[in-house]
């Protein structure tokens, strides 16, 4: 590896969230870590603001050429939304930045710098949606991916419902979303959802090695290439506007249904839900 790799001396970058997110610049790479292992790195307001501010720093700092996002611990990359925080309305609210950045401060936070998800454990629901929003992904061989929201009477509202069918074969994506069943890391690799899988203790070195291959190229050329490939203009992707509008409309309807309420109750009560189809 070069001096820009994981072996470089890290520089801690201050972000909001009381250490729910750690940001370290190592050479030209910004390493962003979801740091709630006791909560399986579930996303609350602190995580959202921390990740969002880290990406803002990356975009505004000429010396950052690539971003790696990972989770703390060896079990979970991200378990999705913290349901207590979501129920309290902490994931939205009156912060315009959170609305613009989307779930986890990430899924609609379109930056020019390439992003790599280093998936250190299971990445179900929001964890898969963070992976889908990343440009590249490296996964531990113990990782798992999936969108199990339908098992709780809800849906993958952070981009999963329309991004997954665009990144893996449509019928496989529909099976994953309509059954709620997970994909192994090996299957995710076969489908092209991730670029490579490695043993857990090789995960960050592999992510930094991939970043180093990007860093060998002209950074502005890389950023221009990403903006063209992703359709990013002024930090927005206009091609997804209709998808997000549809998700908002359908999500608002879904949350009025008895099944959505029953799914949340059943989860809280640790029992199987009793669906009524209304």
Give the residue from 159, 148, 147 showing the smallest Cα distance to 267.
148
Rounded to whole angstroms, what are the CA distances from 52 to 34, 49, 77? 12, 5, 17
Is residue 272 flagged as an active site residue?
no
Give the residue from 164, 156, 78 showing the smallest Cα distance to 121.
78
Is residue 129 flagged as an active site residue?
yes
Asked if residues 196 and 218 have their Cβ atoms less than 8 Å apart, the reply is no
State the catalytic residue, choosing from 9, 53, 90, 129: 129
Asked if residues 136 and 109 have their Cβ atoms less than 8 Å apart, the reply is no
Rounded to whole angstroms, what are the CA distances from 121 to 71, 84, 151, 193? 8, 22, 21, 15
Rounded CA-CA distance 32/71 in Å is 8
DSSP string, 91-145: TSTT-HHHHHH-GGGTTT---SS-EEEEE-SEEETHHHHHHHHSSEEEEETT-EE
State the catalytic residue, choosing from 149, 175, 250, 272: 149
For the chain, what is the radius of gyration of the CA atoms?
A: 18
Give the residue from 160, 176, 195, 168 showing the smallest Cα distance to 81.
160
Give the residue from 269, 265, 275 showing the smallest Cα distance to 87.
265
* Catalytic residue positions, numbered: 129, 149
């Amino acid at each position: 590896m070069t001096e820009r790799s994981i072996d470089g001396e890290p520089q801690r970058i201050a972000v909001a969230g009381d250490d729910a997110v750690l940001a370290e610049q190592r050479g030209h790479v910004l390493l962003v870590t979801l740091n709630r292992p006791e909560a399986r790195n579930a996303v609350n307001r602190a995580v959202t603001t921390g990740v969002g501010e880290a990406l803002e720093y990356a975009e505004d700092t000429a010396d950052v050429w690539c971003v790696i996002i990972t989770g703390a611990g060896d079990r979970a990359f991200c378990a999705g939304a913290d349901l207590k925080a979501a129920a309290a309305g902490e994931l939205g609210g009156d912060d315009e930045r959170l609305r613009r950045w989307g779930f986890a401060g990430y899924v609609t936070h379109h930056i020019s710098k390439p992003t790599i998800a280093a998936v250190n454990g299971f990445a179900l629901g929001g964890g898969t949606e963070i992976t889908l929003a990343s440009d590249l992904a490296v996964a531990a061989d113990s990782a798992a991916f999936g969108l199990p929201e339908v098992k709780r009477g809800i849906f993958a509202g952070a981009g999963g419902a329309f991004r997954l069918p665009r990144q893996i074969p449509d019928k496989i994506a529909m099976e994953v979303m309509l059954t709620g069943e997970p994909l192994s890391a090996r299957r995710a690799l076969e489908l092209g959802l991730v670029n490579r899988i490695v043993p857990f203790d090789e995960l960050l070195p592999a992510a930094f090695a991939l970043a180093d291959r990007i860093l060998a190229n002209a950074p502005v050329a890389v950023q221009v290439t990403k903006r063209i490939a992703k359709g990013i203009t002024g930090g927005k992707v206009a091609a997804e506007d209709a998808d997000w509008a549809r998700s908002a409309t359908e999500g608002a309807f879904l949350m009025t249904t008895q099944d959505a309420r029953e799914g949340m109750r059943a989860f809280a009560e640790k029992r199987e839900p009793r669906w009524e189809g209304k």
